[in-house]
Chain A
Amino acid sequence: MPASAATDLGEVSDIDLVKRSQAGDTRAFDVLVTRYRGRIYAMTYHLIQNETEAWDLAQEAFIKAWRALPSFKLDAGFYTWLYRIAHNVSYDWLRKKKIQGDGEFDDEHTAHRAAAGAETAPKGDPSPDVAMRNAEVGQRIQTAIAKLSPEHRQVIVLREVEGLAYEEIAAMIPCSLGTVMSRLFYARKKLQEQLKDVYENTL
């Protein structure tokens, strides 16, 4: 995604921007923020299900990344590294929430201003009926995900949103492949119970 700010740096590769950032160039880091804020925010939002908290956590992830840049190895992918930081920040928040909230996860759920489906890249203007249907389905999905435990929510986001392979998910969490499969299965079963009427129209 091209950067809207600092257009002269918008086409510069991640690795060059990282090198400049490591040298203290905050403008280069700003381009990286612009380039990845939408993906990082999507991840934190899907995990947290709260717009304000997701915004703050996404920002916290970028700040942590800035501070950790000196230790970043240039042969690694910047986004993967950044994503891991954002994931850890968000998951830590979720676990603390679980401890403080006795496992209740749907009480703080706040919907995004628009339905999840409406936040994707433009696909043309849907008819009002379709847009409304998308909004309803998006809301149902958000509500269902908000009721999942942090562990189940985590694997669903990593698999269904990010499309990570099992080994990548296992490395991200970290856990065994068997745990990944087990959590995915049970997370899907719980979503299946709540969303059956939503997806059965597509069968």
Chain B
Amino acid sequence: MKTPSENHDLSRWLDSEMDETERASFEEHLKHDPALAKEAQEMRALSATLRSHLPAEMKMPHADFFNSQIQVRISQMEADEARSSQTASPSWTTLLRWLRQPWFAAAGAMALAVLSFVLFRPASVAPTQSTILSSYTPNTHVRAHTFHDAAADATVLMLDGLDAVPEEKKISGISVQSSEMEPEFASTTLYDAAGVRLLMISRDVAGTPMIWTKAPRG
């Protein structure tokens, strides 16, 4: 084991923390200490290897989603502050936040489709003008479209490019008629025409997302 002084000198030399006089003196010392010179050479090689494989800048996965999520969270913080003096009221921002979570998209097409169905039909928007407020899937080949049938009073969400949905997760026939949001619990519940709960999304005390769905029909 080298002395602390030598350790520090070696590190300082390696990291260009010595002035010219110190550096010249240390390099002179290296010429007469083969063991230290070998150590210095190895440390320098290690440092070079690390630097060449540890980039200071990396490609951010899902970069656009990263930005949009930050914007959503900022909007939500501001909305929460504005709402703090008011009675809690339903807001789409919480639902949007859920929808934009990567885990949520990964949870499956069913949840994404159901929530989108509601989102695309806000009361203030005319039926034929359904708009996609937000969509996200890890697979960038997936494209979302909506179709509204005024006669049927229904909006259909189409996800092109999605993998086949397993048989046990068939989503046809689900009709969301209403939703309730509880901002205090960050939860959203979707109901069918009979008032039966179809889907509930929330977090547990640790902040872990949870999704409850209606039990499949036998």
Chain A residues with CB under 8 Å of B203's CB are none
A106 within 8 A of B: no
- Distance, CA A78 to CA B61, complexed state (A): 23
A30 within 8 A of B: yes
B60 adjacent to A37 (CB under 8 Å): yes
Chain A residues with CB under 8 Å of B57's CB are 1, 38-39, 42, 120-121
Other-chain residue from B11, B42, B74 in contact with A29 (beta carbon distance below 8 A):
B74
- Distance, CA A199 to CA B45, complexed state (A): 6
Interface residues of B (CB under 8 A from A): 4, 7-8, 10-12, 15, 17, 41-43, 45-64, 66-67, 69-71, 73-75, 77
Interface string of A101-137 (1 = CB under 8 A from B): 0000000000011011101110000000000001001
Interface string of A175-190 (1 = CB under 8 A from B): 0001001101100100
* Interface of chain A: mostly helix, strand, loop or mixed: helix
Q: Give 21 pairs: A residue, B residue, CB < 8 Å, sorted on A.
A: A26-B71, A26-B75, A29-B74, A37-B63, A39-B57, A42-B58, A45-B58, A55-B61, A55-B62, A55-B66, A67-B77, A116-B58, A137-B49, A182-B7, A184-B15, A185-B10, A188-B11, A188-B47, A199-B42, A199-B49, A202-B49
Chain A residues with CB under 8 Å of B73's CB are 59, 63
Distance between A86 CB and nearest chain B CB, rounded to angstroms: 13
Distance between A170 CB and nearest chain B CB, rounded to angstroms: 12
Interface residues of A (CB under 8 A from B): 1, 5, 26, 29-30, 33-34, 37-39, 41-43, 45-46, 51, 55, 58-59, 62-63, 66-67, 112-113, 115-117, 119-121, 134, 137-138, 141, 156-157, 159-163, 165-166, 178, 181-182, 184-185, 188, 191-192, 195-196, 198-200, 202-203
A166 adjacent to B15 (CB under 8 Å): yes
CB within 8 Å for A185 and B11 given contacts A160-B50, A199-B46: yes
Chain B residues with CB under 8 Å of A165's CB are 15, 17
Distance between B140 CB and nearest chain A CB, rounded to angstroms: 14
